[in-house]
Amino acid sequence: MTVISELYVCPICGKTFSKRESLAGHIARKHGSMVIVVKANVVLKRLQEIEKQLRDLSNEIGEIKYLLEKISCSETRIVGEKEEDFGTVTFTSGDLPSFLQNNPWLSVLSKRGKS
């Protein structure tokens, strides 16, 4: 003897089935031409939930656009800033190690990057 752990009940006529597939077939065969009426308050409640989610998403998109614009403006400001010219750095012979004192390459290397 098999024990049925779950019963599936037809919401239209109340007939019970041991398998979900059997219930689906029953509804298609016996009640296929019927239109099932859904309670309006259930549909309205779900619609209100969806509208709230849509508003929340719209607000989040607006915040993201605002932050993106803010980042874009600050990026333009950073790129637009002029580099400071520190001029020529001169050293006295006492500031440099002995291998750099009177070295002709110092003047060549100090001019690099200025052109």
Residues listed for the chain: 115
Amino acid at 18: S
User: What confidence score (pLDDT) does residue 52 get?
Assistant: 97
> Who contacts 86 (Cβ-Cβ below 8 Å, separation ≥6)?
none
- The alpha carbons of the chain give a radius of gyration, in whole angstroms, of 40
From first to last of its 115 residues, the chain has per-residue pLDDT tens of 566 678 899 988 999 999 999 998 998 898 887 766 667 788 889 999 999 999 999 999 999 999 998 888 776 666 655 555 555 666 565 677 777 777 888 778 877 766 5
Q: Are 21 and 8 in contact (CB under 8 A)?
A: no
Which residue do the tokens 């041991």 mark? 18
Residue from 1, 38, 3, 6 nearest 21 by CA: 6
Q: Give, as one character, the DSSP assignment of residue 53.
A: H
CB 107 within 8 A of CB 96: no
pLDDT at 115: 57
> 88: which 2 tokens?
């020529």
Residue type, 61: I
Contact 23, 10 (CB under 8 A): yes
